[in-house]
Amino acid sequence: MTDEYRDLGRARLENEEEFVDILEERRQSSDLGHALRTFSPHPYKGAQSCSTADLKKAVLESQYLHYIAKEIAAETGSSMEEVKEEACRILEEMSQNLQLKFIRLMGFTLTKVLKRLYSSIFVNMEGLNTLQQAVQENPVILMPNHRSYMDFLVISYILFTYDIPLPVIAAGIPLAGMKMVGEILRRSGAFFIRRAIGSDKLYWAVLSEYVRTVVKTGIAPLEFYVEGLRSRTLKSVMPKLGMMHMVMEPFFKGEVYDITLVPISISYDRVLEESLLAHELLGIPKPKESTTGLLKASKVLQEDYGSMHVNFGRPISVRHLCQGKINRCQYNLVPRDLPQKPSADVQACVSWVAHLMVKVQEEGYVIGPWALMACLLLQAPTRVLTEEGLLWQELTEKTLWVRKLALDFGARLNWPSGQGQSSDVMSSTVALHASVVYRKAGRVFLVQEEEPARERPISPEKEVIRTAAAVLMLASYRNQCLHIFVRPALLATAFHITKAAQKEELLAFFCFLRDVFSNEFIFIPGNSSQDFEEACSLLRKCGAVHVSEQEVTVSDAGLEVLSFLQALLQPFIDSYQVIFRYLCENQVHVFAEKQFLSAVRNLAKELILSGELLTYEALSSDTHKNVLSALQRLETVTKSRASEQNEYTVNKAAVRRINDILSGKIPPQMLPSTPDAKL
């Protein structure tokens, strides 16, 4: 099954001719004309005509909500009317109010903004054409990755331009709170979901019924981010399963014949929020979403952000995916409206699909030169970047080498071929990213933001943060291409640490690494041996290893590849070890998340200052959180709810064991198997 989908995204984009710049036409014709164009999409043929009001009514009057309301009324002692009123309020807060005239307004504004920000927006026409067909056949779920606020409406914008039914979009509630903007988004099809739903049963019920009703009635394609939130690191985020389950349930229950998932990969040359994100990762909180904040941010609108690629992936049939995985008869013996916990096979299947979708999204990314250059820049000691500068010549040569490696690994690159052009490409890339690096006298330096004059001289700690901000920006761009390298890189790391050649031993270590890092990089659950095979075959393909029945041995030419790959993961390993060390050495057994985050950051800061720790990436709160989740997953840290705060209890011995395996002191042991992610 998985193999079949492995190349779903990849197969299509071989030649870049397929991508069409949709801004080009906007630059040549009237924006107003575009906004007022006749919009005549071919909707889903089985769609029930259903207004926004009908939709709400259907949700509120659903048998499912009735059951839930009854339960809640019994539990809380309130009356059915009260519960239903509350449900109604939740629904009001949530629901979209898609109106074509607002799409036109949005389209008009967006054209202006997009033209200013981006030199081009490339869209694969073939993907759009397939989507246009798919939309008519079955209810469609659009599943873009989430890297920037920009991708929020850009899909609606493209669909509007190409006469494809406009989606309703799951959005975070903070957006709804923004004056005007919230309402505009709502009327552009956004529906709003609270961030921390937790155990609010009624909220879950209203939301899931709302989502299911949209899917069942097929009134519009549904768009949601399977990653749940915007990735702060431009790296894929562990998918959330709740929404995925809601979306697939109508198929499980036979309420629709099939559901079509359309992965959409949006890649940016340069992300609008780059510096904001880096600061957020360093614990400098992000400003609350507000309209004034947005206006203040308008200075970012003055800059050039290169181009954006929107790659509509091949539609995937849920029916096809679930074949043999789900026994749909399990819904035969109870009313389908009755609230029930999903069974283990359903949970596993939903989780598998969600992970698969992230993988397919990754395969659809169009990688620019900058991501590859960022890989190399990060492999140079930070001091070199800030003080001496990296030789331009060396960087460009090495980048070309990485480019070839990436191509061998099957990446799709946005890089015009031809040797002569390459240096121009790289020069302009660096120019585009003037906020991160600059070129001076044949060398490349890291940009460090200016501090107000009165704060000079800067304290060493401030200095660290200043550098870290730049490094983390760089790291984000590197992250855009990590998925290409990550499996071979895990194998390279296994080589590096175990020094083994036995396939079995390598596989064991590979699986260990994959397990430890599977909050960092997204792997499909249960696919570890396939991932290992993939790693072997990619390394063999580029001539780095010889693979025999029993052994994997490194070729002479392979050393360079392996050391590049291993260095790619080193910052992660270093960062994880810092945290493991903190957990083992720290006197406290029980801690709160906040306390943990700041303590770890301080420790990393100290270690960097003392020169013991080389990577500034250890300062990223994203990594800290990932470690915490990973350890929970591995059952070495347990979460308990004491008073208001989440508290964590750590099993130091277990953490130490993981750390020892990771540093090659003891051979990998079976870690507790990952329980199927809860929905």
Partner 1 sequence: MASNSSGGPDRQRIAQQRLRIITGHLQGRVDVDSTILAAECKAQGSQTDVSREEEKKTVPRRRQDIMKWNGWGYSDTKFLFNKKGQAEFTGKRYRLSGMIIPALKEWFEGTFGASMQHKSPATTMACFLSARLNSDAVQPPTLNEAFVEELKSTGIPFSHDAEDRVFRAHGHCLHEIFALREGKVGRVPDMVVWPNCHNDVVKIVELACKHNVCLIPYGGGTSVSSALECPPEETRCIVSVDTSQMNRILWIDEKNLTAHVEAGIVGQDLEQLLNESGYCTGHEPDSMEFSSLGGWVATRASGMKKNIYGNIEDLVVHVRMVTPQGVIEKSCQGPRTSTGPDIHHFIMGSEGTLGVVTEVTMKIRPMPEYQKYGSVVFPNFEQGVACLREVAKQRCAPASIRLMDNEQFKFGHALKPQVSSMFTSFLDGLKKFYITKFKGFDPDRLCVATLLFEGGREKVLQHEKQVYDIAAKFGGLAAGEDNGQRGYMLTFVIAYLRDLGMEYYVIGESFETSVPWDRVLDICRNVKARIIGECKDKGVQFQPLSTCRVTQTYDAGACVYFYFAFNYRGLSDPVHVYEQVEHAAREEILANGGSLSHHHGVGKLRKEWMREAVSKVGMGMLQSVKDYVDPKNIFGNRNLI
Cβ proximity to partner 1, 138 vs 626, nearer residue = 138
- Let me know: does 307 contact 120? Beta carbons within 8 Å: yes
Please give the Cα distance from 82 to 74 (Å, whole number). 12
Q: Amino acid identity of 457?
A: P
Stretch near partner 1 under the rule CB under 8 A, chosen from 222-230, 234-242, 329-337, 471-479: 329-337
CB of 168 to partner 1, least distance (A): 23
CB of 254 to partner 1, least distance (A): 4
Tell me the number of residues near partner 1 by CB under 8 A: 12
Place of tokens 């939301």: 207
Stretch near partner 1 under the rule CB under 8 A, chosen from 13-21, 327-335, 381-389, 516-524: 327-335
Which residues are CB-contacts of 418 (< 8 A; sequence separation ≥ 6)? none
- The half-sphere exposure of 596 on its side-chain side, counting CA atoms within 13 A, is 29
Taking each helix axis from N to C end, the angle separating 80-94 and 52-60, rounded to the nearest 10 degrees, works out to 150
The radius of gyration computed from the CA coordinates of the chain, to the nearest angstrom, equals 25
Stretch near partner 1 under the rule CB under 8 A, chosen from 282-290, 325-333, 363-371, 615-623: 325-333
CB of 329 to partner 1, least distance (A): 6
Cβ proximity to partner 1, 78 vs 317, nearer residue = 317
Please give the Cα distance from 491 to 511 (Å, whole number). 9
**DSSP bridge partners of 38:** none
Among 122, 331, 521, 591, which residue sits at the site for partner 1 (rule: CB under 8 A)?
331
**DSSP bridge partners of 545:** 554
Stretch near partner 1 under the rule CB under 8 A, chosen from 106-114, 262-270, 322-330, 339-347: 322-330
Q: Amino acid identity of 196?
A: A
Residues 222-261, one symbol each (x = binds partner 1 by CB under 8 A, - = not), give --------------------------------xx-xx---
Please give the Cα distance from 335 to 337 (Å, whole number). 5
Stretch near partner 1 under the rule CB under 8 A, chosen from 11-19, 323-331, 563-571, 631-639: 323-331
CA nearest neighbour of 481 among 165, 269, 222, 259: 269
Residue 546 touches partner 1, criterion: CB under 8 A: no
CB of 63 to partner 1, least distance (A): 9
Please give the Cα distance from 513 to 43 (Å, whole number). 46
CB of 332 to partner 1, least distance (A): 4
Angle at 510 between CA 528 and CA 656, to 5 degrees: 115
Stretch near partner 1 under the rule CB under 8 A, chosen from 204-212, 330-338, 590-598, 627-635: 330-338
Among 332, 393, 602, 640, which residue sits at the site for partner 1 (rule: CB under 8 A)?
332
CB of 327 to partner 1, least distance (A): 8
Cβ proximity to partner 1, 144 vs 315, nearer residue = 315
DSSP state of 468: H
CB of 169 to partner 1, least distance (A): 27
Range 29-48, binding partner 1 (CB under 8 A):
46
Please give the Cα distance from 39 to 161 (Å, whole number). 8
CB of 343 to partner 1, least distance (A): 15
CB of 166 to partner 1, least distance (A): 25
Helices (H), 480-517: 482-498, 503-516
Q: Which contiguous run of DSSP H or E holds residue 587?
A: none
Output b/e per residue, 129-165; b: 16+ Cβ within 10 A. Answer: ebbbebbbebbbbbbbbbbbbbbbbbbbbbbbbeebb
Among 293, 335, 667, 672, which residue sits at the site for partner 1 (rule: CB under 8 A)?
335
Cβ proximity to partner 1, 30 vs 327, nearer residue = 327
Residues 84-123, one symbol each (x = binds partner 1 by CB under 8 A, - = not), give ----------------------------------------
| Backbone φ/ψ region at 133: left (φ over 0), alpha (ψ -120 to 50), beta | alpha
Q: Amino acid identity of 404?
A: K
CB of 337 to partner 1, least distance (A): 8
Please give the Cα distance from 395 to 384 (Å, whole number). 13
> DSSP string spanning 379-404?
HS-HHIIIII-EEHHHHHHHHHHHHH
Cβ proximity to partner 1, 72 vs 214, nearer residue = 214
Among 57, 336, 439, 443, which residue sits at the site for partner 1 (rule: CB under 8 A)?
336
Cβ proximity to partner 1, 291 vs 323, nearer residue = 323
Sign of the four-CA dihedral 591, 592, 597, 602: negative
Residues 582-601, one symbol each (x = binds partner 1 by CB under 8 A, - = not), give --------------------
Please give the Cα distance from 547 to 552 (Å, whole number). 5
Residue 64 touches partner 1, criterion: CB under 8 A: no
Residues at the site binding partner 1, with contacts judged by CB under 8 A = 46, 254-255, 257-258, 327-329, 331-332, 335-336
